[in-house]
């Protein structure tokens, strides 16, 4: 009997080891199987910009009650006065189901996740006079894990919604109001295109205090020239682009790089293998060299269940590596929750790891933009 029991235990160990090997060898295939929709793309009509006149089409806007973007961590004081700037924030993917290529605007689960993402990721910018974050028919997360033509269709539909929302955002602005553009993950991917199509080479470009295009690679050769703004080389530089993708060490970035290579650059060319922008959020520049943890003003340590979080300063360092990823060294000794992705990918935490520095960076670039203009802004 004891011998049979040992055989059972040995067999379970072998099965577990084989499972772990399979996950390591076929992790990308298994991820695609789990998240890439296996249904036909359902064409949907374009929504006119006037659709976003409705408050319910926004996660955040100035006249919304219970605005998640207005949240602040305990102990962070509310500014005495709002900064004279309007923020347009495009939230990351909150639709992880595989039953459709695009989320319904009425999908309760993805709406709730979007609210939580806006709370944690847009809140560094809530010292602004206004912060707008649209709801949109976002592409399913699986659209970024495949090169199927349906994926491109889904992303194009999401982009059309963001463009329409941006039209309403710009209509509501005072004529001389500066703007900040912020997006994470899918939001950053779409924001790249918006910068090319609606900002670069227009009078609006002179009003941009900065573009925080976080969590999706910005190709230095294929994207940045089309976006109409340079990379940020100084911490006090207005009108520039910041971008980073965060990993801890040892990092396995193969899946990220394959996702990057599936999409074409803003110039229509393949981007695989091309270097992408890495801004160090602790220094506010794209210059090489590490920034010590002592320069981190505060990492937002989330409590997802209670929908709150606290700041922990001086824990997380950062350095742009030769692979163009932002490396934070060993995984930080913080209870960040269960959402670190395989390969020590800290994608969900791109903003939260540097929450307080990002808030200071935003305020500094607004001040720098104002210093370049004559007269007060409204």
Strand ranges for the chain from DSSP E: 58-60, 83-90, 128-134, 179-184, 208-214, 241-242, 246-247, 299-303, 308-312, 319-320, 326-327
pLDDT at 28: 57
Q: Which position has the token pair 């305990």?
A: 74
pLDDT at 371: 95
Closest CA to 188 of 168, 158, 165, 209: 158
pLDDT at 373: 83
pLDDT at 46: 94
pLDDT in tens, the chain (378 residues): 444 433 433 333 333 333 333 334 445 555 666 899 999 999 999 999 999 999 999 999 999 988 999 999 999 999 889 999 999 999 999 999 999 999 999 999 999 999 999 999 999 999 999 999 999 999 999 999 999 999 999 999 999 999 999 999 999 998 889 999 999 999 999 999 999 999 999 999 999 999 999 999 999 999 999 999 999 999 999 999 999 999 999 999 999 999 999 999 999 999 999 999 999 999 999 988 899 999 999 999 999 999 999 999 999 999 999 999 999 999 999 999 999 999 999 999 999 999 999 999 999 999 999 999 854 444
pLDDT at 80: 86
pTM: 0.91
pLDDT at 27: 52
* Nearest-angstrom CA–CA distance, 288 and 280: 8
pLDDT at 30: 54
pLDDT at 259: 94
In degrees rounded to 5, what are phi and psi of residue 334? Answer: -135, 145
DSSP string, 169-236: HHHHS-TT--EEEEEETHHHHHHHHHIIIIITTSGGGGGEEEEEEESS--BTTTTHHHHTSPBP-STT
Domain boundaries defined on the chain: 33-371
Look at the alpha carbons of 27, 278, 300, 88 in this order and tell me if their dihedral is positive or negative. Answer: negative
Please say whether the beta carbons of 328 and 295 come within 8 A.
no
pLDDT at 79: 87
pLDDT at 14: 38
What are 33's two structure tokens? Answer: 């199987």
* Nearest-angstrom CA–CA distance, 9 and 152: 47
């Amino acid at each position: 009997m004891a011998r049979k029991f040992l055989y059972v235990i040995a067999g379970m160990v072998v099965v577990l080891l084989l499972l772990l090997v399979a996950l390591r060898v076929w992790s990308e295939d298994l991820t695609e199987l789990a998240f890439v929709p296996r249904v036909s793309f359902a064409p949907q009509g374009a929504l006119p910009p006037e659709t976003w006149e409705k408050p319910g089409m926004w996660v955040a806007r100035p006249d919304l009650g219970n605005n998640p973007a207005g949240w602040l961590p305990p102990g962070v004081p509310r500014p005495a006065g709002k900064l004279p700037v309007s923020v347009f924030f495009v939230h990351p993917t909150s639709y992880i189901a595989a039953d459709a290529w695009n989320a319904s605007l009425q999908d309760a689960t993805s709406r709730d996740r979007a609210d939580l993402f806006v709370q944690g990721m847009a809140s560094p910018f809530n010292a602004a006079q206004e912060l707008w974050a649209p709801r949109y028919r976002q592409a399913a997360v699986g659209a970024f894990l495949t090169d199927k033509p349906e994926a491109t269709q889904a992303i194009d539909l999401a982009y059309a919604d963001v463009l329409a929302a941006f039209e309403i955002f710009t209509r509501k602005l005072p004529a001389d109001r500066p703007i900040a553009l912020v997006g994470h993950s899918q939001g950053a991917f779409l924001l790249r295109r918006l910068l090319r199509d609606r900002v670069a080479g227009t009078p609006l470009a002179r009003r941009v205090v900065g573009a925080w295009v976080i969590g999706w690679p910005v190709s230095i050769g294929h994207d940045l020239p089309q976006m109409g703004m340079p990379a940020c080389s100084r911490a006090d530089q207005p009108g520039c682009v910041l971008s980073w993708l965060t990993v801890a060490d040892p990092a396995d970035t193969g899946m990220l790089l394959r996702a990057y290579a599936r999409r074409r650059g803003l110039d229509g060319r393949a981007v695989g293998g091309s270097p992408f922008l890495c801004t160090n959020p602790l220094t506010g520049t794209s210059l090489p060299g590490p920034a010590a943890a002592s320069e981190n003003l505060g990492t937002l340590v989330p409590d997802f269940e209670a929908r709150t979080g606290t700041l922990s300063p001086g824990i997380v360092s950062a350095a742009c590596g030769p692979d163009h990823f932002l490396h934070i060294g060993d995984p930080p000794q913080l209870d960040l929750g269960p959402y670190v992705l395989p390969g020590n990918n800290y994608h969900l935490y791109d903003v939260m790891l540097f929450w307080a520095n990002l808030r200071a960076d935003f305020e500094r670039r607004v001040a720098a933009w104002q210093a370049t203009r004559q007269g007060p802004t409204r």
